[in-house]
DNA sequence: ATCCAGGAAAACG
DNA sequence: CGTTTTCATGGA
């Protein structure tokens, strides 16, 4: 079975990284194992201290997917500038932002709106079961995430079995608009942050929050700072004390929060966001 | 029953 | 233009 030995200064926590809510298609299995579908791979992976053991993908694939090729220490140090985020960093030690396939990430965050993580996971899983290709692995059946054309050609009726609610037409329209996902990903990846953000927001069902998540989790735009209800609460309580606890959520306020975060935490504020989110008290 | 969840679009004034 | 209402789903 292939393995990666992490060097001692290469912090990485598989549990934090897969469990923090950035990605929706991994499941915890027995004895610390995780299993998930990434592209056409079914991957089984487990961490034992500084050793990663896995099957279903190559060493370079795993290294790239989990961002093991980036030096986490200076990134974290760059935004660790107060006791509150320091506590979040220590609580979630080794959390890395992964490199998700863009098209799947796009649909995932369209399905995430006004919802919670278990529901999002169910929706993405059902879309894969309905429209994806079967993969057999260790005696079980898994499903790839479908191409845009597989969804776009299906019409509304099969999509309705996925229980997306009012998001059904958003997913359908966006699937029709994307065309070739590889070409689309290249286009977005080549653009600077703000233009890429505006481009994503042209898609049906993609507003500021979804666009920011997609840019952070699929395109390594670390200056992105997604503001959901949890992050808004944390920012209001710990960083922007002038925000009102029960104020209506407006686009102006969203911009205020993300621009504050970009200045306060710096160019890796998206990483700061993920530590704050993962360490949130429930 | 009412409120909430990794919000966005449409309607409104 | 900024602000309010509506949208579908399931768990607490």
Write out pLDDT tens, residues A95-145: 999 999 999 999 999 999 999 999 999 999 999 999 999 999 999 999 999
A41 CA to B1 C1' distance (Å): 45
Mean model confidence pLDDT for chain A? 96
Average pLDDT over residues A138-157: 92
Nucleotide nearest to A247 (CA to C1'): C3
Q: Is the pLDDT of residue A282 over 60?
A: no
pLDDT at A157: 82
Structure tokens at A210: 């979804």
Beta strand A140-143 pairing with A34-38: unpaired
Q: How far is the CA of A239 from the C1' of B11 (A)?
A: 34
3-state SS, residue A111: coil
pLDDT at A153: 77
Residue A113's nearest nucleotide, by CA–C1', is B7
Q: Quick one: pLDDT at residue A154?
A: 78
- pLDDT-derived band of residue A203, with 50, 70 and 90 as boundaries? very high
CA–C1' nearest nucleotide, residue A216: B6
What H or E segment, with its residue span, contains residue A44? strand A41-48
Nearest to A274 by CA among A5, A18, A53: A18
Give the rounded percent of residues in chain A with a pLDDT score beyond 70: 100
CB A143 within 8 A of CB A129: yes
pLDDT recorded at residue A217: 98
CA distance A230 to A145: 28
The continuous run of DSSP H or E covering A177 comes out as: helix A168-178
Tokens of A144: 């790839």
**Can you give the distance from the CA of residue A249 to the C1' of nucleotide B13 in angstroms?**
19
- Bridge partners, A238 (sequence order): none
The alpha carbon torsion through A35, A125, A101, A94 (nearest 10 deg) reads -40
pLDDT digits (tens, 9 = 90+) for A10-38: 999 999 999 999 999 999 999 999 999 99
**Which of residues 248-277 of A have CB within 7 Å of strand C?**
248, 250-252
Residue A27, strand partner residues: A35
Neighbour tally for A152: CB within 10 Å: 18
| Stretch A158-179: mean pLDDT | 96
> Cα separations (Å) of A98 from A22, A203, A226?
8, 23, 16
- Give the CA A102 to C1' C5 distance in Å: 32
Q: Is the pLDDT of residue A148 over 70?
A: yes
The conformation of residue A145, written as its DSSP 8-state character, comes to P
> What pLDDT, in 10s, does the model give residues A220-275?
999 999 999 999 999 999 999 999 988 888 999 999 999 999 999 999 999 999 99
A261 and A235 in contact (C-beta within 8 Å)? yes
Q: Does residue A156 register a pLDDT over 80?
A: no
Mean pLDDT across the stretch A82-90?
98
């Amino acid at each position: 079975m292939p393995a990666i030995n992490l060097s001692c200064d290469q912090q990485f926590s598989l549990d934090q990284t897969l469990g923090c809510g950035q990605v929706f298609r991994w499941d915890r299995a027995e004895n610390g194992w995780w299993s998930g579908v990434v592209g056409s791979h079914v991957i089984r992976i487990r961490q034992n201290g500084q050793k990663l053991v896995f099957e279903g993908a190559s060493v370079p694939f795993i290294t790239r997917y989990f961002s093991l090729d980036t030096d986490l220490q200076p990134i974290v140090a760059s935004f660790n500038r107060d006791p509150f985020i320091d506590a979040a960093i220590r609580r979630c030690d080794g959390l890395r932002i992964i490199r998700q396939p863009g098209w799947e990430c796009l649909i995932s965050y369209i399905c995430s709106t006004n919802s919670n993580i278990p529901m999002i996971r169910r929706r993405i899983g059902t879309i894969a079961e309905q429209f994806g290709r079967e993969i057999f692995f260790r005696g079980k059946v898994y499903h790839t995430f479908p191409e845009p054309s597989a969804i776009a050609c299906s019409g509304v009726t099969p999509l309705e079995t996925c229980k997306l609610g009012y998001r059904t037409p958003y997913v359908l329209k966006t699937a029709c608009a994307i065309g070739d996902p590889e070409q689309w990903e290249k286009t977005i990846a080549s653009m600077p942050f703000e233009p890429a953000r505006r481009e994503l927001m042209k898609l049906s069902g993609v507003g500021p929050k979804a666009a920011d998540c997609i840019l952070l989790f699929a395109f390594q735009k670390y200056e992105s700072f997604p503001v959901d209800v949890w992050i808004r609460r944390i920012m209001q309580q710990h960083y922007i004390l002038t925000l009102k606890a029960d104020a209506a959520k407006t686009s102006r306020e969203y911009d205020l929060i993300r621009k504050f975060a970009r200045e306060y935490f710096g160019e890796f504020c998206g990483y700061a966001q993920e530590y704050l989110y993962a360490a949130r008290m429930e």
